[in-house]
Amino acid sequence: MATPHHPRRSDTRRRIQDVALELFSEHGYEKTSLREIAERLDVTKAALYYHFKTKEDILVSLADDLAGPVDELIAWAESQPRNLATKQEMLRRYSDALWNAAPLFRFIQENQATVRDLSIGESIKSRVNALNEMLKEPRSSVSAQVRCMTALFAMHAGMFATQNIEGDPQEKRAAILEVALDLVAQAEASVVPG
């Protein structure tokens, strides 16, 4: 049975993550200090240090929260037949994971150089590469391989590229997924049976 302190600690951790991500997005990762995060939360730096020692620790915790669903997706996909239906379901589930972590992906998109230099950059890259490997076939042409990678990138960049397009956010999300599904279907259709 959990102690009464665990939910509270979890809520505090979540609040720290949310405020830090908000400040990282407003001012940039490099220009945000732990002091500013503590001030925005109206807590002491010591209280913040109890949960996170560095800004990178906060960012890593956010990336780890996203990594869980993506790791589950990868494990699921590895246990499925390697066919178009599985690949398209992978994209649907990946879309859910991305949209559930939209503020983090917005930050990553806007701070690519910073993220690349931090430990989460390699973590994200390895997961995207794993997904791409499951989408493409070993005998794929170069254009089919590009379609598979572009499907993933369309899902990443689509959240930002559609900001200037009129329409309901869910409709835009569905359109991004439709494009990704179509790209993978085109890639699959070009594979030579072997």
Backbone angles phi, psi at 136, to 5 degrees: -90, 155
For residues 23 and 119, membership in a common domain is answered with no
Q: What is the pLDDT along the chain (194 residues), one digit of tens a residue?
A: 333 333 445 688 899 999 999 999 888 888 999 999 999 999 999 989 999 999 999 998 988 887 889 999 999 999 999 999 999 999 999 999 888 888 887 788 778 888 888 878 788 889 999 999 999 998 889 999 999 999 999 998 887 778 788 889 899 999 999 999 999 999 999 876 66
For residue 12, the enclosing domain spans 1-53
Supply the pLDDT for residue 194.
60
Global pTM reads 0.80
For residues 93 and 138, membership in a common domain is answered with yes
Q: Residue type at 99? A: W
**Spatial separation of the C-alpha atoms in residues 131 and 91, rounded to whole Å:** 9
Q: Give the CA count within 13 Å in the CB-facing half-sphere of 24.
A: 25
For residues 42 and 69, membership in a common domain is answered with no
Residue 59 lies in a domain: no
For residues 110 and 34, membership in a common domain is answered with no
For residues 88 and 137, membership in a common domain is answered with yes
For residues 92 and 48, membership in a common domain is answered with no
Supply the pLDDT for residue 130.
95
Residue 194 lies in a domain: no
Residue 58 lies in a domain: no
CATH of the domain at 80: 1.10.357
User: How many structural domains comprise the chain?
Assistant: 2
**142 with 120: CB under 8 angstroms?**
no
Supply the pLDDT for residue 85.
97
CATH of the domain at 29: 1.10.10.60
Residue 118 lies in a domain: yes
For residues 128 and 76, membership in a common domain is answered with yes
For tokens 């890639």, name the residue: 187
Residue 36 lies in a domain: yes
**55 with 31: CB under 8 angstroms?**
no
**Spatial separation of the C-alpha atoms in residues 144 and 62, rounded to whole Å:** 33
**Spatial separation of the C-alpha atoms in residues 48 and 4, rounded to whole Å:** 20
